[in-house]
Structure 1
Amino acid sequence: MPYIAPVHIVAPALILSVRPHGEHGAIVRALTPADGMQPGYVRGGRSRVLRPVLQPANAVLGEWRARTGEQLASLTVELIESRAALHGDPLAAAALSWVTALTATALPEAQPYPRLYEALDGVIGALAAAPSARGWLPGLIRYELLVLAELGFGLALDRCVVTGERGVFDLVSPRSGGAVSRAAAGTYAGRMLRLPPFLLGGSQSPDWPDLFDGMRLTGHFLDRDILADRREDVGAARQRLTARLKRAVA
C-alpha cells in the first residue's frame, strides 16, 4: 500500500463553523493562511471552557494531528483574539454569520487561499473597528467578489462584454458576469445589474443605494455559481443580513 503521510499542522486560523459531534465534542472548520480550510475534531468542544473559544470569526492558534491525511484530524486550539463582543450586536453578528458560513461552504478543504484569509481577517477587523455598517459593508462586498474570483467565477468589470471596449461602466450582464456599456445594452439596460463605482476603486464612502446595488450584484453570482445546491441555511444567513441592513437604514 502507498505510504500516506501523517498530518501535523500548527497555524493561526479563523474559526468558520462549529458542529456538535457526540456528547461533548465538536467538528470545527477553520481557515489558515497557508493550509486553507482545515476541519478537525475538538475533544470537549462543547464544554463551558471551549465554547467561548470556538466562536465563528475568533482568531486562534490551531494544531491539527492525524495519523493519515484520510482521517479527520484531532484539533486543539488556543485563543488569540475573541470576537465575542461582535456577536452581541445583531447587525455585526449577522455579518459574521454570513461571511464565515460562505467561506466554510464555498472553499474546498486543504487548498491554500492566502488572499481570502487576509481579506476575511480584514473584514472581521473592520466589523470590530467601524462605528457603523457603512464602514465595513464595502469590504464585505469586495470579499464576496474575491471569493467568486478565487473560485474561478470572477467578474470581468473593466471591458464591455459586447463591444470589447475598455473603460468604466455601470452595468453588468447577469448572464456573463461581464461589464456592459449603456450604449451596447440599449433596450436591455433594465435587465442588467448595476455596478456601483466603489467596486471599481471609486468612492470609499458609498451611499446606501450603491451598497445595496453591490450586494445585489454579488448575491446574484454567489447564488448561481457557488451556493446552488448547497445548504439552505447559508443563503438564509445572507438574507438575514440584508433584512437587518434594510431595517437599519429605514
Structure 2
Amino acid sequence: MEWREQGIVLGVRKLGETSVVVELMTRDRGRHLGLVRGGRSRKQQPVLQPGNQVEATWHARLDEHMGTMTIEPIELRAARLMETPVGLHGIQLLAAHLRLLPERDAHPRLYDGLKIIVDHLDDPVQAGELVLRFEIALLEELGFGLDLETCAATGTRDNLVYVSPKSGRAVSAEAGLPWHDKLLALPGFLGATGGRADAAALADGFAMTRYFLARHVWSARAIAEPPSREPLIAAIARQNGAARLPRDDEVLADLPG
C-alpha cells in the first residue's frame, strides 16, 4: 500500500542507531506515524523538526502497519519557530492537542487551522487568537462543541458576555446578571459582535477553553494539562505588553469544578 500527501511535522522519536519515527498531521489521513530510515542523518534532521511542511510518501504491506516514510521538505519553519517563546511553546501545545485525536482519523478543519497558525506564531496578537480558536475547534472535533452565537436563555445574538459552564452556551448580559459570578466570561471577539483580542480578552478566552478541556478531556482521560500551555499564554502576554495574563486557575477560582 502507498500514499503521498503533504503534512506538518509534530514530532519525532529515535528508533535504533539511524532511524526515527516521525509524527505528521495530514489533511486527509489525520495524525499519522511512519518510520524514516536514516532520519537521524545530517540531511534529514533539519527537515524532521516540528512545524515544518513536508511531503511524505508512505509504504506498508498492510494498512494497519506503521509503515515507512520518505520525506521531502516543502517549507522549513522550525528554525523561525524556535527563535521565540511563542513559536516554541505554540508548536508544542498544538502537537499535544492533536495527540488527543485518534491516529489516522481525518480532521481537515484542524489541519487547515494548524497550517495557518504555524505561519503566524511570530505575531503574538494573531497567535493568541488563532490558538484560542484552535482550542474551540478541537473541543468541537472531540464532540464537546461550544455554542457562542446565541443566548442559551433568550435566543438573542446581542450583548453576549458570558458562557454557561454547564451547557457551554453563550449567555447575554441581562440573562446572566443574577448568576454572573458563576458564569465564564465570553470575550467579545469570539461572539457575534466581534471585538479586539487584547490581553484581557485572551485571558478570558484561555480560561474558558481550559475549563471545558479540563472538564471533558483532561480529567476524563486522567491526563494533565499540556506543560507548554501556560508558558505559551505567558509569552503571548509579554509580547502583547501585559505583565502577564492571569493564570487560568485564578480566573476560574470561584467557578464550580
Whether 2:147 is the aligned partner of 1:147: answer no
22, 29, 34: which is aligned to 2:16? 22
User: CA 1:123/1:226 → structure 2, altered by over 3 Å: closer, same or farther?
Assistant: same
The aligned amino acid for 1:91 is V
Give how far 1:231 is off.
Answer: 5.1
Give how far 1:16 is off.
Answer: 1.3
| SS of equivalent residue, structure 1 residue 127 | coil
User: CA 1:47/1:191 → structure 2, altered by over 3 Å: closer, same or farther?
Assistant: farther
8 Å contact kept, 1:15–1:60: yes
Give how far 1:35 is off.
Answer: 1.6
Structure 1: which 5+ runs fail to align? 1-6
| Matched positions, count | 238
95, 120, 136: which is aligned to 2:90? 95
How many Å separate the matches in 1 of 2:193 and 2:19?
Answer: 47
| SS of equivalent residue, structure 2 residue 204 | helix
Report Cα offsets for 1:95-118 as digits up to 9, x if no partner.
121112211x12212222111111
Matches within 5 A, 1:126-141: 126-128=120-122, 130=123, 133-141=124-132
Aligned counterpart, 1:165? 155
Matches within 5 A, 1:82-121: 82-83=76-77, 84-103=79-98, 105-121=99-115
| SS of equivalent residue, structure 2 residue 149 | strand
How many Å separate the matches in 2 of 1:164 and 1:48?
Answer: 61
8 Å contact kept, 2:125–2:236: no
Report Cα offsets for 1:40-73 as digits up to 9, x if no partner.
1112223322221111111000111111122111
The aligned amino acid for 1:89 is T
47, 51, 64: which is aligned to 2:45? 51
48, 51, 66: which is aligned to 1:72? 66
Aligned counterpart, 2:147? 156
User: CA 1:150/1:67 → structure 2, altered by over 3 Å: closer, same or farther?
Assistant: same
Give how far 1:157 is off.
Answer: 1.4
150, 163, 180: which is aligned to 1:189? 180
User: CA 1:16/1:202 → structure 2, altered by over 3 Å: closer, same or farther?
Assistant: farther
8 Å contact kept, 1:227–1:235: no
User: CA 1:49/1:33 → structure 2, altered by over 3 Å: closer, same or farther?
Assistant: same
8 Å contact kept, 2:8–2:51: yes
User: CA 1:204/1:62 → structure 2, altered by over 3 Å: closer, same or farther?
Assistant: farther
How many Å separate the matches in 1 of 2:5 and 2:183?
Answer: 43
| SS of equivalent residue, structure 1 residue 40 | strand
The normalised TM-score by structure 1 is 0.87
Give how far 1:166 is off.
Answer: 3.0
How many Å separate the matches in 2 of 1:125 and 1:150?
Answer: 22
| SS of equivalent residue, structure 1 residue 126 | coil
RMSD over equivalenced CA pairs, Å: 2.0
The normalised TM-score by structure 2 is 0.85
| SS of equivalent residue, structure 1 residue 156 | coil
The aligned amino acid for 1:225 is H
The aligned amino acid for 1:197 is G
Aligned counterpart, 1:4? none
8 Å contact kept, 2:148–2:190: no
50, 55, 58: which is aligned to 1:61? 55
Report Cα offsets for 1:96-141 as digits up to 9, x if no partner.
21112211x122122221111111101111225x3xx013211111
| SS of equivalent residue, structure 2 residue 226 | helix
Sequence identity (%): 35
How many Å separate the matches in 2 of 1:96 and 1:230?
Answer: 23
8 Å contact kept, 1:171–1:193: yes
| SS of equivalent residue, structure 1 residue 139 | helix
